[in-house]
Amino acid sequence: MNSLHPLDINTHKNTLANGSSEVSFIYKNTKCPLLELTDERAITCNLNQLVIKDFEKQLIPTLQLAIALLGDDNTQQSCELTYDNPTSLVVGSLINSSVVTHSKITTSSLLRGKDNLYLLHIKEHLNEQEIKTHVSVKHMRDKWIAHLDENPFETAKTLLVFDPSQTSLPALAHHVSFQSVRLSPAFLPNFLSLAEKVLTIIQEKQKKTPAQSLKSSR
């Protein structure tokens, strides 16, 4: 007996009255019976597909848009993003979104486990430059975008400002430096290249895992 080919199966999404969605799988105009697999390989497949969706539909297009908005001139020299420039503000938001999306694969979770073997599999296939970019992106997420910590992009200080003539009491001042974010010219192209490489790794992994899961369920 031949197996069904995924390309011959269509999906139909229906929105229910409560706002949730119901997805049906259709083969030759007939609704297919389903059995959800919940073994370890199936969970890995689920993770793969979520990462593929994130990178294919959001991360890579977002980075491409950020590079396009900056223009060729700005990617050939040190890139400075200022908060008083509308284009820089949009590009900065796109970069923040990209850093968070990429970092979803770097953090431990109930599905990935404490040691995050999922990330270790990805890193095995990265070269030295890609590992360096990955570490840089993760540092941006951990120290700046998702958490408050010391970082090269912003500083905050509480100061006593003294009167040089010594005729007034000192004033308490709060100062924040965040007027601009300076990135190396290679950061965005390297980040995009890393995202494309990770997508390829996961797509290849996804091709192998379902077949193994299907065999184990028979």
Alpha helices per DSSP H over the chain? 40-54, 60-75, 86-103, 117-123, 128-140, 187-217
Copy the structure tokens of residue 107. 């953090």
Residue 30 contacts by C-beta under 8 Å, 6 or more apart in sequence? none
Let me know: does 54 contact 101? Beta carbons within 8 Å.
yes
Q: Answer whether residue 1 shows pLDDT above 70.
A: yes
Q: Answer whether residue 216 shows pLDDT above 70.
A: no
Q: Comparing C-alpha atoms, which of 98, 75, 196, 210 is closest to residue 145?
A: 98
Highest averaged pLDDT of the listed ranges 121-130, 170-179, 181-190: 121-130
Selected residue with higher pLDDT from 103 and 171: 171
pLDDT tens figures, 192-213: 999 999 999 989 888 876 555 4
pLDDT value of position 154: 78
pLDDT band, very low/low/confident/very high, at 217 (cuts 50, 70, 90): very low
What pTM was estimated for this model as a whole? 0.78
Given the DSSP bridges, would you call strands 10-15 and 171-177 parallel, antiparallel or unpaired? unpaired
pLDDT value of position 189: 93
Distances (CA, A) of 112 to 8, 45, 62, 79, 215: 32, 12, 25, 35, 23
pLDDT tens figures, 73-126: 555 556 677 777 888 889 889 999 999 999 888 766 665 555 556 677 788 899
Determine the Cα–Cα distance for residues 181 and 167; give it in Å rounded to an integer. Answer: 39
pLDDT tens figures, 35-82: 999 888 888 888 889 889 999 999 999 999 999 998 865 555 566 777
pLDDT tens figures, 140-155: 888 888 887 777 777 8
pLDDT value of position 213: 47
pLDDT value of position 170: 95
What does pLDDT average to over the chain? 84
Determine the Cα–Cα distance for residues 45 and 8; give it in Å rounded to an integer. Answer: 20
